[in-house]
Structure 1
Amino acid sequence: MFVKMVKNDFIRNKIITMTVFVFITMAVILAAGAVTNIGNLIQGISKFQESAVPADITVMHAGEYDQGKIDRFTDQYRDHIAMQETMVLQNIYGSNIHFGQNQTMAGTIQDISFVLQNKNFDFILNLDNEKLDVKKGFVAVPIYFMEQHDLKIGDTITVKSGWYENQFVISDYARDFEMNSPLTSSKRFVINQDDYNEMLKMQAGELEYLIEFKLHENGDAAAVQTAYNEAGLPANGPILEGEIFAIFNSMSDMIVAIVIIFISMLLLVIASLCIRLTFLATIDEDMREIGVMKAMGISRKDIKKVYLNKYRIIAAAAGIIGYLMSFAAVNLLNRNMKLYIASDLSGSLNYILALIAPILVYVMIVMYCKRVLKRIDKISAVEALRSDIMERGKNSFPLLKNKFFSTNIYMGLRDVGKRFRLYRLLLVIFIVCTFIVILPVNIYNTMSSPEFSSYMGIGKQDMRIDLRRTDSITEDFKKLQEELQNDSDIEKFAPYITSSYQVRNAEGSWDYMNIESGDFSVFPLKFLEGRAPEGEGEISLSLANAAKDGLNKKVGDEVTVKTDGQEQKLTVTGIYQDITNGGKTAKAHTSLGVNEEAILWYIVSLDLAEGVDARKKMEYYQNAYSTAQVNDIKEYTQQTLGNIINQMGTVVVGGISVAIIIAVLITALFLRMLLSKDMSQIAIMRSMGLTLKQISHQYMAGTLMVLIFGIIFGVLTANLLGEFLVSLAMSSMGAAKIEFVHIIWQTWLLCPLALIIAVGLTIYISCKVAVKDDLSVVLRS
């Protein structure tokens, strides 16, 4: 009998059953997709790391270098160090690398190095995660440049530097565990030994060294770094630990996965509300049947089973289909992961992890159904057979007091006030749907905005010119400043010099740190605490440097810096946010001086006068200073965060689609429940002479008012709570206080308008269909 009743219920409520089924399937797809994505990321990073065997400690150095001293140090610390290898980089300027139709790589913010494959560890891999073996005349190009310049295998690039000129055929994409991410400022091109020797002989590039150490499993990285610094070994560049490379490689995909998980959690909340709405509609509709079954002596447990079995079947079927479809959804989101980390992301673990979502959704639905079905316990047979027992609101909104709205609109708004406990469910769902739309939009707009540069340790500016190490770099820097001073198209500019200094850490030993010196009042940063260094003996620290696992300093504390062999104490005046260079940077007043032996780069920031064509001005300075990198700040941000921005764009489209579908489905379910409950009242209004149009307007007015309030609260919640959540996620990267860039016409007009149109059409169709039922049948029932 119960099987027949469940079957009849499916047939009777085809539309509502399919609506709930689709919604649960969607929730499972997103939840399983997010879990699978994280599983893929963990698996991919692990396999990538296993194949690449990255260094545990990497020291970047430019200048004089003695391998003998490195070898003796390695032998001295064999208890910690398993292997040591030094990679010699030949740095070539982007303007000297030609491809396509007279195109070059000028303007890239990346340092480009041509290298040989390592012998022992830190291998550069192909797309199958196999160690690259490049033949003479060929080159393996980093994925970053293959994508940025749309290069293909078989294309050619030509290197022209001084007297050196050679054409290479692209043989492979190069996967580089240490320098894969756009967040790292260097990229390595792999060539053959013969080509490398010729390039070295012709002095085509500036030499730089990667002094790398692979530790034993129980090796102490901190002890090795301290000993290395105290030994005074070459290190006029940053010293990086292996963990930072894994963070950089996983960052863009992890951010997307976190956003998807958050949306999935919201969907699970909405799923609960959806089931509640469905049960309220079904129980209200079946009130007399429940009364009959109770009068016949059927137990409450058996009655509940009729309704519960239906949703057990729906949850199980939706879970299976959602589970299978989630793998297709994952493919839309992990393109970046497949390209940069691993080609094959399959594995039994992923299939097992993905099962968590459908099982969780099934258990949640069954448990929630049991909770909602407790309402049946409160229904007596007599009450069920006599009348509608749904609660009515106690508030009174007399029609005579209406002075602003038409009668039908006022009656709709009045209904919301009288039965707010019923409508609040819909309000919460509209708030959540709006949140799902607005949060990814805000994140995308913030990362795409030039103002995001403030989280990269640089002030807001129109352009920046980077000068890299050459024999004439000092002269070029002076010449550039003189030219900018006399250029009427330049409104203002400020030169900055970044050098590597020894700094006393929290344990009392010496670490190397990049410190930028210059006038920071011209292009001011946003500071979390304090201000920029303005006078002699002042320094400001990035958040990661000031943290407990960094220098452990706060505003007013002193930092000891070694300059020209002398210790100098600098007072911390401010703490700012920076997600570049591992988040550990510092800015000092020019009185600190310049460490001439360890200058890393010169930068000039500038603003253009009003009306000046930025593109033409960039081209002029790029041609005038061929070894420079000239970028506007938007392009600089795009090159650094392009992968994350592109993936967030996909999440924005997905979020809007999911939110609209949810809003439409829930609105249809809610109105079905409401109109079913009010059928007798609707029949009475119709018998009194009210037209179908007038009755529909009442329900449309009330539901649209709830929608508008839901959108307002949703946007405000996304703006305020969203900033907190994103700041929490970004704090580990060096940005603990993110302020969204709000594009008003998107967040307050376009996105809300899309929801209003979708929900408005749903309300119109639902009301039009429901109030057309045969009046005589309703009155007789």
Structure 2
Amino acid sequence: MFLKMVKNDFIRNKIVTMTVFLFITMAVILAASAIHNIANLIQGISSFQVSAVPADMTVMHAGEYDQAEIDQFTEQYRDHIAMQETMVLQNIDGSNIHFGQNQTMAGTIQDISFVVQNKHFDFIVDLDNEKLDVKEGFVAVPIYFMEQHDLEIGDTITVKSGWYEKAFVISDYARDFEMNSPLTSSKRFVINQDDYNEMLKMQAGELEYLIEFKLNETGDPAAVQTAYNEAGLPANGPILEGKIFAIFNSMSDMIVALVIIFISILLLVIASLCIRLTFLATIDEDIREIGVMKAMGISKKDIKKVYLNKYSVISAAAGIIGYLMSFAVVNLLNSNMRLYIASDLSGSLKYILSLIAPLLVYFMIVMYCKQVLKRIDKISAVEALRSDIMEGGKNRRYSFPLLQNKFFSTNMYMGLRDVGKRFKLYRLLLVIFIVCTFIVILPVNMYNTMNSPEFSSYMGIGKQDMRIDLRRTDSITEDFNKLQEELQNDSDIEKYAPYITSSYKVKNAEGTWDNMNIEIGDFSVFPLKFLEGRAPEGEGEISLSLAHAAKDGLNKKVGDEVTVRAGGEEQTLTVTGIYQDITNGGKTAKAHTSLGVNEEAVLWYIVSLDLAEGVDVRGKMDYYQNAYSTAQVNDIKEYTQQTLGNIIDQMGTVVIGGIAIAIIIAVLITALFLRMLLSKDMSQIAIMRSIGLTSKQISHQYMAGNLMVLLLGIILGVLAANFLGEILVSMAMSSMGAAKIKFVHIIWQTWLLCPLALMIAVGLTIFMSCRVAVKDDLSVVLRS
């Protein structure tokens, strides 16, 4: 009997059943694919790490060094260190690398190095995660540049530097565990040992060194780093722990997966609200049948089972279909991962983990249904059988009388009046419209923020038109001074500011010395946005990035003092401000020029500048790029794009998907809600038509009420995405060094375009639903 009742209910409520089924399926697809993606990511990173054997501690150093001292240090700390290897990098400026039709890699923000494979660890691998073995005359190019310049295997790149010139055929894509991510500022091209020796002999590039350590399983990287610093060994660049490379490799895919999981949770909330709405409407329609069953002696448990079985079957079927479809969807989400981390993931773990989503959704839906069905316990057989009589005898409150209407047309007022009188019924629809708007606006805000020049404030630099980077060459100081003189005399330049970054020794919270990159210059010209305090303005002042100031860093607050060793002398600097920075592992600092330049450990020179009004930015960039061939000249938007390009591109896909999902949800829920509402009000509609109201007038009443709910939902949804969204994104980004994200709002998108798309889709649904429902045969309704 129960199976027959469930079957009849399916047939009677096809639209409702299919809508709920679709939402549960979509929630399972997104949740399962996100979990699948995370499982792939974990497995891919692990597999990549096994193949590449990355260093546990890497010291970047430019300048002379004594390998014998490093070997001695390694032997001294054998209880921590398993292996040590020093990789010699030949840095070639992008303008000296030619490809295609007279194109070069000039303007890249990446340091380009030509290397040969290490012998023991930190291997660079191919797309099958096999150690690269490059033949003479060939080169393996990092994936980053293959994507940036549309290079393909078989293409030729030519290196022209000084007297050196040689053409290389691209033989492989190069995966580099330590320098894969765009967030790292260096990339390694792998060539054959003979080609490398020739390049070295011709002094084609500036030399830089990676002093790398592979630790034992019980080795402590913090202890090794402290000992290395105390030994005074070469380190005029950053010292990086191996775990930071894993974070960089997984960051873009993890952000996308978290956003998708969040959207799937919202979908599940919508499905639950939809089920609640369906249950309440069904119980209301079946109140007499429930009374009959209770009068016949059927238990409450068996009555609930009639309704519960239906949604148990729906949840199980939706879970199975969603789980299977997630394997197709996941391929759309992990294209970046397949290229950068692992192309052929194997193993059954990810399939097992993906089952978490459908099982969790099933149990959540069933438990929620049981909670809603408790309403049946409160219905007695007598009340159920006499519900129509009792409702007819209730005293009704006549609020919002029509005579008080002075501003709206009669039909519009009646529609708005209905919402006011039955707001408890409409609030479910309001919540769903808020959630749909949130799903649209939050990814749009994230995309616009990351793609905006103002995002530079989260990268430790002020807002500016152009940025000129000078990397280490023999003539770097001469070029830096010459550039400043030219900028001073260039009438197209409104303002500029030079900055010098060097490596210094700084005393940490334990009283030992660490290396820290400190930038000096005038930070009032292109001011940063500070979380606390201000920029260093006078002698003896310094500001720290959030990661450096944190408890696991230097553990400093505004007003505290920092001891820095510069030029063989110790200086005590006062912390004046804390700012956000997601570059260089989030650990940077900025000091007043009185600190002085650490000449032995200068890392790079930067000049930031703004152009006068009307000056062509691209033309000016080309001029300075040609005038200073070793410089990297970028506008700030291009700089951000090169650093965060992968994340921005994937977020763009999420934006499109979010808009499509939100519109589908809004349309289906609106159609479902109106079907139930108009079915519930059919007798009232019949009375209105019998006293002379036309179908068109009645349709306008329902359209006015529902459109008002939609408009209110859009306004509240946009406000929630703007303010609550900032809090959620800031929490997610705090681990990267940006704990207070401020969205960049493009008003015409967030307040016009996206809401307009929702209003058009939902408006058409309301119009079609009302038009069909109120034209039913009047005599049939009155007889019923």
Q: TM-score range by the shorter chain?
A: over 0.9
The alpha-carbon deviation at position 215 of structure 1 amounts to 0.5
Query: What is the aligned partner in structure 2 of residue 215 from structure 1?
Result: 215
Tell me the distance in 2 between the aligned counterparts of 1:467 and 1:195.
27
Tell me the distance in 1 between the aligned counterparts of 2:693 and 2:301.
43
The alpha-carbon deviation at position 294 of structure 1 amounts to 3.2
Tell me the distance in 2 between the aligned counterparts of 1:377 and 1:564.
81
Query: What is the aligned partner in structure 1 of residue 468 from structure 2?
Result: 465
Structure 1 letter corresponding to 2:662: A
SS at match of 2:150: coil
Which sections of structure 1, spanning at least 5 residues, go unmatched? none
Query: What is the aligned partner in structure 2 of residue 154 from structure 1?
Result: 154
8 Å contact kept, 2:144–2:182: yes
SS at match of 1:689: coil
Deviations 1:564-621 (A, max 9, x none): 1111111111111100001111111111111111000000000011111111111110
Structure 2 letter corresponding to 1:308: L
The alpha-carbon deviation at position 642 of structure 1 amounts to 0.2
Structure 1 letter corresponding to 2:671: A
Query: What is the aligned partner in structure 2 of residue 57 from structure 1?
Result: 57
8 Å contact kept, 2:288–2:385: yes
8 Å contact kept, 1:578–1:735: yes
Tell me the distance in 2 between the aligned counterparts of 1:229 and 1:487.
44
Query: What is the aligned partner in structure 1 of residue 126 from structure 2?
Result: 126
Tell me the distance in 2 between the aligned counterparts of 1:86 and 1:613.
45
Match runs of 1:744-759 below 5 Å: 744-759=747-762
Structure 2 letter corresponding to 1:577: Q
SS at match of 2:515: strand
Which sections of structure 2, spanning at least 5 residues, go unmatched? none
Query: What is the aligned partner in structure 1 of residue 20 from structure 2?
Result: 20
The alpha-carbon deviation at position 362 of structure 1 amounts to 1.0
Tell me the distance in 2 between the aligned counterparts of 1:424 and 1:117.
64
Residues 1:774 and 2:771 aligned together:
no
8 Å contact kept, 1:23–1:665: no
8 Å contact kept, 1:98–1:159: yes
8 Å contact kept, 1:392–1:419: no
8 Å contact kept, 1:83–1:215: yes
8 Å contact kept, 1:393–1:420: no
8 Å contact kept, 1:88–1:207: yes
The alpha-carbon deviation at position 21 of structure 1 amounts to 1.3
Tell me the distance in 1 between the aligned counterparts of 2:347 and 2:311.
32
Query: What is the aligned partner in structure 1 of residue 241 from structure 2?
Result: 241
Query: What is the aligned partner in structure 1 of residue 165 from structure 2?
Result: 165
The alpha-carbon deviation at position 114 of structure 1 amounts to 0.3
The alpha-carbon deviation at position 392 of structure 1 amounts to 10
Deviations 1:308-349 (A, max 9, x none): 211111111111100001111111111111111111234211
8 Å contact kept, 1:36–1:330: yes
Deviations 1:39-81 (A, max 9, x none): 1111111111111111010000000111111100000100100
Query: What is the aligned partner in structure 1 of residue 35 from structure 2?
Result: 35
Match runs of 1:613-624 below 5 Å: 613-624=616-627
Q: Which of 491-500 and 1-10 deviates more?
A: 1-10
The alpha-carbon deviation at position 282 of structure 1 amounts to 2.1
Match runs of 1:729-744 below 5 Å: 729-744=732-747
**Residue 590 of structure 2 is aligned with which of 579, 587, 590?**
587
**Residue 402 of structure 2 is aligned with which of 399, 404, 424?**
399
The alpha-carbon deviation at position 378 of structure 1 amounts to 2.8
Query: What is the aligned partner in structure 2 of residue 316 from structure 1?
Result: 316
Match runs of 1:293-308 below 5 Å: 293-308=293-308
TM-score (norm 1): 0.98
8 Å contact kept, 1:395–1:417: no
Tell me the distance in 2 between the aligned counterparts of 1:198 and 1:5.
84
Structure 1 letter corresponding to 2:217: E
8 Å contact kept, 2:319–2:359: yes
The alpha-carbon deviation at position 652 of structure 1 amounts to 0.4
Query: What is the aligned partner in structure 2 of residue 523 from structure 1?
Result: 526
The alpha-carbon deviation at position 382 of structure 1 amounts to 4.0
Residues 1:105 and 2:105 aligned together:
yes
Tell me the distance in 2 between the aligned counterparts of 1:40 and 1:751.
33
SS at match of 1:572: strand
SS at match of 2:101: coil
Query: What is the aligned partner in structure 2 of residue 707 from structure 1?
Result: 710
Deviations 1:341-380 (A, max 9, x none): 1112342111111111111111111111122222223333
Query: What is the aligned partner in structure 2 of residue 139 from structure 1?
Result: 139
Query: What is the aligned partner in structure 1 of residue 227 from structure 2?
Result: 227
SS at match of 2:114: strand
Deviations 1:534-567 (A, max 9, x none): 1111111111111111111111111111111111
Structure 1 letter corresponding to 2:45: I
Query: What is the aligned partner in structure 1 of residue 496 from structure 2?
Result: 493
Structure 2 letter corresponding to 1:693: K
Query: What is the aligned partner in structure 1 of residue 566 from structure 2?
Result: 563
Amino-acid identity (%): 88
Tell me the distance in 2 between the aligned counterparts of 1:589 and 1:394.
72
Tell me the distance in 2 between the aligned counterparts of 1:283 and 1:555.
62
Tell me the distance in 2 between the aligned counterparts of 1:735 and 1:121.
33
8 Å contact kept, 1:281–1:672: no
Structure 2 letter corresponding to 1:707: L
8 Å contact kept, 2:23–2:268: no
The alpha-carbon deviation at position 671 of structure 1 amounts to 1.3
Structure 2 letter corresponding to 1:777: V
Count of residue pairs brought into register by the alignment: 781
Going from structure 1 to structure 2, the CA distance change for 1:698 and 1:451 (only over 3 Å counts) comes to: same
Going from structure 1 to structure 2, the CA distance change for 1:564 and 1:134 (only over 3 Å counts) comes to: same
Deviations 1:94-113 (A, max 9, x none): 00000001000000000000
Match runs of 1:367-386 below 5 Å: 367-386=367-386
Query: What is the aligned partner in structure 2 of residue 514 from structure 1?
Result: 517
Tell me the distance in 1 between the aligned counterparts of 2:122 and 2:154.
26
Structure 2 letter corresponding to 1:517: I
The alpha-carbon deviation at position 658 of structure 1 amounts to 0.8
Tell me the distance in 2 between the aligned counterparts of 1:745 and 1:261.
28
Query: What is the aligned partner in structure 2 of residue 603 from structure 1?
Result: 606
Q: Which of 602-611 and 276-285 deviates more?
A: 276-285
Deviations 1:389-440 (A, max 9, x none): 8899957111111111111111111111111111111111111111111000
Tell me the distance in 2 between the aligned counterparts of 1:732 and 1:438.
24
SS at match of 2:525: coil
Tell me the distance in 1 between the aligned counterparts of 2:748 and 2:355.
41
Deviations 1:274-316 (A, max 9, x none): 1111112222233333333334333332222222211111111
The alpha-carbon deviation at position 26 of structure 1 amounts to 0.7
SS at match of 2:565: strand
Structure 1 letter corresponding to 2:445: N
CA RMSD of aligned residues (A): 1.4
Tell me the distance in 2 between the aligned counterparts of 1:740 and 1:393.
48
Query: What is the aligned partner in structure 2 of residue 328 from structure 1?
Result: 328
Q: Which of 340-349 and 397-406 deviates more?
A: 340-349
Structure 2 letter corresponding to 1:93: D
Tell me the distance in 2 between the aligned counterparts of 1:616 and 1:256.
36
Query: What is the aligned partner in structure 1 of residue 77 from structure 2?
Result: 77
Q: Which of 407-416 and 389-398 deviates more?
A: 389-398
8 Å contact kept, 2:34–2:257: yes
Residues 1:663 and 2:666 aligned together:
yes
Match runs of 1:678-693 below 5 Å: 678-693=681-696
SS at match of 1:469: coil
SS at match of 1:495: strand
SS at match of 1:479: helix
8 Å contact kept, 2:15–2:672: no
Going from structure 1 to structure 2, the CA distance change for 1:550 and 1:456 (only over 3 Å counts) comes to: same
Query: What is the aligned partner in structure 2 of residue 443 from structure 1?
Result: 446
Structure 1 letter corresponding to 2:623: Y
8 Å contact kept, 2:123–2:131: yes
Tell me the distance in 1 between the aligned counterparts of 2:75 and 2:395.
84
Tell me the distance in 1 between the aligned counterparts of 2:425 and 2:677.
9
Going from structure 1 to structure 2, the CA distance change for 1:102 and 1:267 (only over 3 Å counts) comes to: same
Tell me the distance in 2 between the aligned counterparts of 1:281 and 1:35.
35
Query: What is the aligned partner in structure 2 of residue 420 from structure 1?
Result: 423
Going from structure 1 to structure 2, the CA distance change for 1:393 and 1:85 (only over 3 Å counts) comes to: farther
The alpha-carbon deviation at position 387 of structure 1 amounts to 4.2
Query: What is the aligned partner in structure 2 of residue 647 from structure 1?
Result: 650
8 Å contact kept, 1:33–1:326: yes
Tell me the distance in 2 between the aligned counterparts of 1:193 and 1:265.
53
8 Å contact kept, 2:26–2:264: no
